[in-house]
Amino acid sequence: MNPWLLELLTCPRCDIEDDLLVYPEKTLMEDVLEGWLSCPRCNNNYLIANGIPRFVNLEENYAENFGHQWNKFRLTQIDRLNSHNISSSRLLNDTKWSKESIQGKLVLDAGCGAGRFADELAQFGARVVACDLSSAVDACKQTVNDCHGKTINRGEVAIVQANLLSMPFKRGIFDYIHCAGTIQHTPKPEKIIKTLPSYLVSNGLLFYNFYEIDPFTKFQIIKYFLRRWTPNWRVKTLVRFSRWMCYIFFMLSFIMSRIPIVRFFNRFLPICSVHPIGLSLGQQFDLTLLDTVDWYGPRYEIRQNHKEVAALLIKEGLTQVKSDKGFVWAIKN
């Protein structure tokens, strides 16, 4: 656990933001690898394992399918480990943040998965706190600790396992909050949408990316028929099923993606087609497989209307709120 992370943490069960006490059992230099954090007010203890403070229990971990998913597909979306730039391009294009503005900022990556965006934020020089409910945090730690291709001015990454509905952070500490592809997979999206801005500093930037309510989803008959059962499958079964679906439909989706007049109909196939220009067929297959698992595995898929999300943030007092399908940008006063 990074020493500076301790300054940001507080007990998620208490209203008063006391500093947590740390009881190390195994250290490496200044990093605590194993040990406990304790709240001096309520006396709750929180495990530190593999250098990651953990604020979750089995009862609230509705996202463990993601943990298995990201540990299995840890490297697939990491730019510097795969010689592509799909994550950095998406980060900059979607957030509308510049590399220069990110450098030196304290950024929360809420719902970090295997660390694709946390890693890119660090590559641009940000100091990042990567947070996820599932054991994907262990995959994220492996990702950010891999030395291959790191930039000279790379920022540090601290990792926390916690529920976005009950965050262990002090209020008003982050310069930027990045939350991509996470809100729709939680049981209470509105609560997260309204709560995350409280962790921003004044004039801090907020970015949300989520599944937009889409009338065309009613034509994804096979996907939503299968989702009646797939979230309850064992992960090995889910991955095996998704792989076979990709074996059957991948080449068809690839061909369709190259024909403008039929490209639109790719969304109705029972796989999540991903075909970025410039990537090998093997890379495209891996990305399609990963996103297909992401289609069928999550317990929750609660889509949002971007205008309603923007209205919620305006009601919470955020300014310069802008939205588009699947995206919202805002600034905290």
Kindly indicate the confidence band of residue 58, based on its pLDDT and cuts at 50, 70 and 90. low
5 and 87 in a common domain: no
72 and 112 in a common domain: yes
Residue 3's nearest CA partner among 20, 12, 112 is 20
Q: Domain limits at 234?
A: 215-296
Instruction: State which of 50, 66, 83 marks the end of a domain.
Output: 50
Contacts of 76 (CB under 8 A, 6+ apart): 82, 114, 286, 287, 290
pLDDT digits (tens, 9 = 90+) for 267-309: 999 999 999 988 999 999 999 999 999 999 999 999 999 999 9
80 and 164 in a common domain: yes
Overall number of domains in the chain:
3
162 and 125 in a common domain: yes
Q: For residues 205 and 61, give the distance between their C-alpha atoms in angstroms, rounded to a whole number.
A: 28
The whole-number pLDDT of residue 66 equals 56
207 and 69 in a common domain: yes
Kindly indicate the confidence band of residue 59, based on its pLDDT and cuts at 50, 70 and 90. low
pTM: 0.94
Q: Is the pLDDT of residue 75 over 90?
A: no
Contacts of 26 (CB under 8 A, 6+ apart): 32, 33, 34, 35
201 and 282 in a common domain: no
The whole-number pLDDT of residue 65 equals 56
Is 44 strand, coil or helix? Answer: coil
184 and 120 in a common domain: yes
239 and 111 in a common domain: no
273 and 180 in a common domain: no
22 and 122 in a common domain: no
Q: Are 171 and 197 in contact (CB under 8 A)?
A: no
Q: Is the pLDDT of residue 71 over 70?
A: no
Contacts of 221 (CB under 8 A, 6+ apart): none
Q: Are 117 and 180 in contact (CB under 8 A)?
A: yes
DSSP state of 305: -
How is residue 75 written in tokens?
């490297």
Q: Are 163 and 60 in contact (CB under 8 A)?
A: yes
